[in-house]
Chain A
Amino acid sequence: MQPINSFELQIFNDIMELRSMSEWLHNACKNLGVHESLTRDLDVCANEAVANIILYAYEDHERHHINMRLELKKNQELSLTIQDDGIPFDPFKAVLPESYDKIENIKIGGLGIQLIRNLANECKYCRLNGKNIISLGFHPCQTSASSINSAKSSLLNCCNY
């Protein structure tokens, strides 16, 4: 019998769904043998991506489905796919703000997408059949901690201090 290598979840566009999503993600990661620190990176990315969808993707007040899939591929790469039927939006095309200067000029925004970009090893977006599809790839052997310093400068730019 083949081991299960993927898990799926469907949630609604309600911010309170974030908690059940995180619970699902932690359980799925546990079943796939994903290390705790990578699980927590995934949790941050999923929270940021799905929160963006719930808060900004819909122009009506109707109920919408958001579909998620976590898959451990044969090359041991983890893939998290998030699909929604909101307005077309590529989060990875967002332009980084100009560099920051002083604390007096703090403007806070875009941090979530920057966190995803820096925690995930691959970020892809496509629009297919009226759906936004985000795919995030994670290489378990490569810790994102090592990329903190390189990530920091771009995130600070985005934070626009």
Chain B
Amino acid sequence: MEINCEQLAGDIYKINLKGRMDIPGNAEIDIKFSGMTAAPRKFFIVDLSGVDFIASIGIRTILLSTKAIHNRGGKIVILNPDSQVKKILLMTGVDTIIPIVDNLESALAAVNL
């Protein structure tokens, strides 16, 4: 998998993920993902448009960071997941914890609320 992070206005960080978020793929990014979402950073947009597969291991990585982000008063939003990935996120109730949006404007609004 590939991962990179860009800083947007207002101390919002956009993390872009690409590839298969299965166990081998997740192993390539989970430490970097935890690092990119670590304190003191608080506001995150996770762009999943380049992820074509997600298994429970990938959801676990996102949720573990989310827990830490929420604990320090931060916000995280998922941007533009592919239809199958979105189905898995909805099926696991991720959308009840993390807003899932399909454009950057909505993502920025969600973390700025």
Contacts and interface: CB of A to CB of B under 8 A. Distances in A.
A93 B24 CA distance: 27
A18 B67 contact: no
Given A103-B97, A115-B92, A155-B93, A43 B53 contact: yes
* Residue among B24, B63, B70, B93 with the highest chain A CB neighbour number at 10 A: B93
A137 B57 CA distance: 23
A104 interface: yes
Interface residues of B, number: 26
Interface in B53-68: 53, 55-57, 59-60, 63-64, 66-67
A108 B58 CA distance: 11
Interface string B86-101: 0110111100110000
Interface stretch (A3-11, A44-52, A66-74, A83-91): A44-52
B7 interface: no
Contacts of A22: 20, 22, 53
B112 interface: no
B91 A152 contact: yes
Contact of B56 (A48, A144, A145, A148): A48
A132 interface: no
Contact of B23 (A15, A155, A156, A161): A15
Those 9 A-B pairs whose CB atoms lie nearest each other, nearest first: A156-B93, A111-B56, A112-B56, A106-B67, A40-B84, A47-B55, A108-B60, A155-B92, A152-B93
Given A37-B83, A106-B63, 9 more contacts: A15-B24, A18-B23, A47-B22, A47-B55, A48-B55, A111-B60, A114-B92, A115-B91, A159-B93
